Amino acid sequence: MSFVTTKDDVEIFYKDWGPKDARPIMFHHGWPLSSDDWDAQMLFFLQHGFRVVAHDRRGHGRSEQVSGGHDMDHYASDAFAVVEALDLRNVVHIGHSTGGGEVARYVAKYGQPSGRAAKAVLVGAVPPLMLRTEANPEGLPIEVFDGFRAALAANRAQFFRDVPAGPFYGFNRAGISQQEGVIQNWWRQSMMGSAKAHYEGIKAFSETDQTEDLKNITIPTLVLHGEDDQIVPIADSAIKAVALLAKGTLKTYPGFSHGMLTVNAEALNADLLAFVES
Collapsing DSSP to helix, strand or coil, 119 comes out as strand
For residue 225, indicate whether it is catalytic: no
| Gyration radius from the chain CA atoms | 17
Euclidean distance between CA atoms 57 and 78, whole angstroms:
8
For residue 71, indicate whether it is catalytic: no
Q: What is the pLDDT along the chain (278 residues), one digit of tens a residue?
A: 899 999 999 999 999 999 999 999 999 999 999 999 999 999 999 999 999 999 999 999 999 999 999 999 999 999 999 999 999 999 999 999 999 999 999 999 999 999 999 999 999 999 999 999 999 999 999 999 999 999 999 999 999 999 999 999 999 999 999 999 999 999 999 999 999 999 999 999 999 999 999 999 999 999 999 999 999 999 989 999 999 999 999 999 999 999 999 999 999 999 999 999 99
Q: Residues 198, 229, 237, 257: which is the catalytic one?
A: 229
For residue 70, indicate whether it is catalytic: no
Residue 255: which domain range? 2-277
- pLDDT tens, position by position, 208-240: 999 999 999 999 999 999 999 999 999 989 999
Q: Residues 97, 194, 206, 237: which is the catalytic one?
A: 97
**pTM score above 0.95:** yes
Output the domain CATH number for residue 30. 3.40.50.1820
Collapsing DSSP to helix, strand or coil, 57 comes out as coil
Number of folded domains in the chain? 1
Q: Residues 28, 60, 198, 258: which is the catalytic one?
A: 258
The gap from C-alpha 137 to its chain's centroid, in whole angstroms, comes to 24
